Structure 1
Amino acid sequence: MTMRSPQDIAARIRAIRVSDDDLFGFAEEVLMEALDFEHAQQFFDPAMTAAQWDQQRWSEHSDTENYARWYLEFAIGKILGHRSGSASRSVTKLAELAWLLGRDDVAAAMDAAGYPMYGAPKVSVFAAGLGWPITDLVDDPKDRQMLSRMAEGLQCSPDGCTQGCAD
């Protein structure tokens, strides 16, 4: 995959800051963490040191793709847990990760997908677009079936949901 350049990322951060598209700052957070100290320092407190910045970034993840894989699994957990706000944040972050990885096609497909069932269709599009089938990331057969249904925009269970799904 082709990672965006620091200059492209900085330009996108500036564009997001003047728009109303990132009300809670989730997209900017992902973009900032993709920048090294030299390129990120224009956006934060000048008193921050390089060491502080490195601790704040994706410290446990070696690169954007590694972070995207980890975050996808996190997002799946939020979907299966019927966590509406967290799932929404995950969709926003995954869309920015698709953009960072140079996958405008995946970001566009996510945008076109519906948002029922805690964004599962959008997250499924992200996973499939990157070659990481969403159900392969879930070990429990019951959770795999539930996630598969939700990715299709259906309630988690054919017998009805007791956790909050709505058609």
Structure 2
Amino acid sequence: MTIRTQEEIVTRVWALRANRQDILGFREEVLVEALDLDHARQVITPRHPVEWAQRVDHETYAREYLEFAIGKILDHRGNSASRSVDKLSELAWLLGRDDIVAAMDHAGYPMYGAPKVRAFADGFGWPFLDCDDGLALARMADGQQCDPQGCERGCAD
């Protein structure tokens, strides 16, 4: 997979900041890790300090982060699941998959973002339901609570 150019990534970081679309910096974190040192210096400022460590294998990171995101959905972790959706969306953009970004944007956010994460996995053709709790995950991705008998962990219709 080919990632976006260094210049495209820098432009995206500045756009996220200008539009205040990434207040907590989760998307920016993904992007800055894709920059070489010279380009990272263009976006790391005293007002926007970011720890920098260049990542080179974004596809492997995306696959691993998908598994992490699924875990957060199944654990009913609202804030962590939301952060995971943001990061996966940015990874899709970084990997040049605007179609996946659009599919994620179009998917709803019920059940801890499960429909959005499913759109990410499906777009790449990666497994989504290959976990021990695949039935619950499938239900959540369809916007239903994890257990048809009722959920004691927090999800609701």
Measured against the shorter chain, the TM-score band is: over 0.9
Normalised TM-score (structure 2): 0.92
Q: Sort the Cα spacing of 1:111 and 1:131 in 2 relative to 1 into closer, same or farther, 3 A.
A: same
Residue 12 of structure 2 corresponds to residue 12 of structure 1: yes
Residue 74 of structure 2 corresponds to residue 80 of structure 1: yes
Structural mapping, 1:6-155, within 5 Å: 6-44=6-44, 53-54=52-53, 57-58=54-55, 62-136=56-130, 138=131, 140=132, 143-155=133-145
Q: Distance in 1 between matches of 2:9 and 2:42?
A: 12
Structure 1 ranges of 4+ moved more than 2 A: none
SS of residue matched to 1:93: helix
Segment drifting more, 145-154 vs 113-122:
145-154
Residue 156 of structure 2 corresponds to residue 166 of structure 1: yes
Once the two structures are TM-superposed, the CA of residue 34 in structure 1 deviates from its matched residue by: 1.0
Q: Distance in 1 between matches of 2:149 and 2:52?
A: 48
Opposite residue 164 of structure 1, the aligned amino acid is G
Note the residue ranges of structure 2 that are not aligned, 5 or more in a row: none
Q: Give the aligned partner of residue 49 of structure 1.
A: none
Opposite residue 28 of structure 2, the aligned amino acid is E
Q: Distance in 1 between matches of 2:84 and 2:63?
A: 12
Q: Sort the Cα spacing of 1:78 and 1:157 in 2 relative to 1 into closer, same or farther, 3 A.
A: same
Opposite residue 78 of structure 1, the aligned amino acid is K
Once the two structures are TM-superposed, the CA of residue 53 in structure 1 deviates from its matched residue by: 3.8
- RMSD (Å) for aligned C-alpha atoms: 1.5
Cα distance per residue 1:90-130 (max 9 Å; x no partner):
00000000000100000000000000000000000000000
Opposite residue 9 of structure 2, the aligned amino acid is I
Opposite residue 111 of structure 2, the aligned amino acid is M
How many residues get paired? 153
Once the two structures are TM-superposed, the CA of residue 20 in structure 1 deviates from its matched residue by: 1.8
Once the two structures are TM-superposed, the CA of residue 6 in structure 1 deviates from its matched residue by: 0.6
Normalised TM-score (structure 1): 0.87
Once the two structures are TM-superposed, the CA of residue 45 in structure 1 deviates from its matched residue by: 5.1
Q: Distance in 1 between matches of 2:154 and 2:34?
A: 35
Q: Distance in 2 between matches of 1:53 and 1:89?
A: 19
Between the two proteins, what is the percent identity of the paired residues? 63
